[in-house]
Structure 1
Amino acid sequence: MGSGRQRGQGMAETQENKIETGTQHTIVPVRIEEALGAAAMALICLISFANVIARYATNVSFAFTEEYSVFLLVFMTFVGASAAFAGNEHIRITFFLSRMSPGWQRVCEAITLLATTLMFSLIVYFGARVTHSEWKWEETTPGLGNPSWIYTIWMPILSMAILMRVLGRAWATFRKERPA
């Protein structure tokens, strides 16, 4: 029973490796996203810790902590998504994929890449519209009164970075599968 289970896992890994290309194909190192994500996480930790200390010592919390923490969390999510797509580590259901033939795996990979490209293209378009609208109407944040576009401009910018990583992943995946 154990050897059949191991044999099944080995087959799944073999089939999965046909799609996996790692980060060797990247021109821009993934370390950039990793460093930005780590910096955002460190800032969230520092801001939250300082707020807890201030609240404990003075019964007053810093007004900026929620606004900056939410922005940094969204920033970290987009940067993490970019790194995940570069390394083909994004969330997916491999239970079914590993049981498919290589041809169907390529079809599923193409559908995934197309759906991801469509979704982040829409985020670029609508995020840019929202950012422009906030800039045009000089909208400010309710907590600190900062211009809102300073926070929302990162959504289309980071979505473009994700799109570049997705397109790089598609190029590496389907170029690798061509016969030499």
Structure 2
Amino acid sequence: MKILNYFEEVILFLAFLTMTIIAFSNIVARNMASLSLSFTEEITINLFVLLTFVGTAVGVRRYGHLGFTLIFDHMNPLFRKVFIVFSTLMSLILFGVLLWYGLQMVMFQMDMGQKTPSLGWPQWILSSALPIGAFLCVIRTIQVGIEELKLEKHSVNKGDEAV
């Protein structure tokens, strides 16, 4: 998984760096040369989608998702395990649907030979951010679900502590 961690971090770094350079160049071109680099909007938007989905996968990996644990902390161990499995399955369904429809969209764009409006690049290349990010989210959701179940198995329940 270290290779996947590195891969995710590199994608995030390069996407954010590219977006920053493009935005800065656009500002300089507009203010200094009265030029508008409108074609860069396509790249920025699609990099933002990539950044969002890969960032979501990293957030899942780092347990960075929002959680309200008051009820969870007061559940008995069996209900906690059931809740972990339920939330993992619901996340997998969400990311699985995004992966499925993302792949369908990319294949449709490939079949139709769609090009981006400004740059004329194949649209499927930029749209691949959705299924790639969703696939990473699926992997990380499975990983975190297994880790949470292992932690739950070895956790000490309230009242079971040795005095």
TM-score (norm 2): 0.83
Give the distance between the partners of 1:100 and 1:58, measured in 2 at CA. 63
2:157 alignment partner in structure 1: none
Question: How far apart are 1:66 and its partner, in Å?
Answer: 0.7
Q: Which residue of 1 aligns with 2:64?
A: 89
Distance 1:142 1:71, change over 3 A: same
Residue pairs, 1:1-180, within 5 angstroms: 26=1, 28=3, 30-178=5-153
Q: Distance in 2 between matches of 1:142 and 1:50?
A: 21
Measured against aligned partners, the alpha-carbon deviations of 1:117-173 in whole angstroms (never above 9, x if no partner) come to: 001111111111111111101111222222111111221122112111111112222
Q: Shift of the alpha carbon at 1:37?
A: 1.1
Match of 2:31, SS?
A: helix
Asked if the contact 1:140–1:146 (Cα under 8 Å) also holds between the matched residues in 2, the reply is yes
Identity %: 25
Letter in 1 for 2:152: E
Cα separation, partners in 2 of 1:125 and 1:152, compared to 1, 3 Å: same
Q: Is the 8 A contact 1:128 1:156 kept in 2?
A: yes
| Greater displacement, 139-148 / 66-75 | 139-148
Query: What stretches of structure 1 move > 6 A for 4+ residues in a row?
Result: none
- How many residues of Structure 1 are paired with residues of Structure 2 in the alignment? 154
Shift of residue 96, structure 1, vs aligned partner: 4.1
Relative to structure 1, the CA distance from residue 81 to residue 129 in structure 2 (aligned partners, 3 Å threshold; closer, same or farther) is same
Q: Secondary structure at the match of 1:142?
A: coil
CA contact 1:124–1:155 (8 Å) conserved in 2:
yes
How big is the shift at 1:101?
4.3
Q: Deviations over 1:71-125 (max 9, x none)?
A: 1111111111111111222223335444544444333322221111001111111
In 2 relative to 1, CA 107–147 (structure 1 residues): closer, same or farther, beyond 3 Å? same
Secondary structure of 2:116's aligned partner: coil
TM-superposed deviation, 1:28: 3.9
Query: Residues of 2 paired with 1:98 and 1:45: CA distance?
Result: 42
Q: In 2 relative to 1, CA 170–53 (structure 1 residues): closer, same or farther, beyond 3 Å?
A: same
Q: Give me the whole-angstrom Cα distance separating, in 2, the residues matched to 1:27 and 1:33.
A: 10
**CA contact 1:63–1:144 (8 Å) conserved in 2:** no
| Structure 1: segments with no counterpart, 5+ residues | 1-25
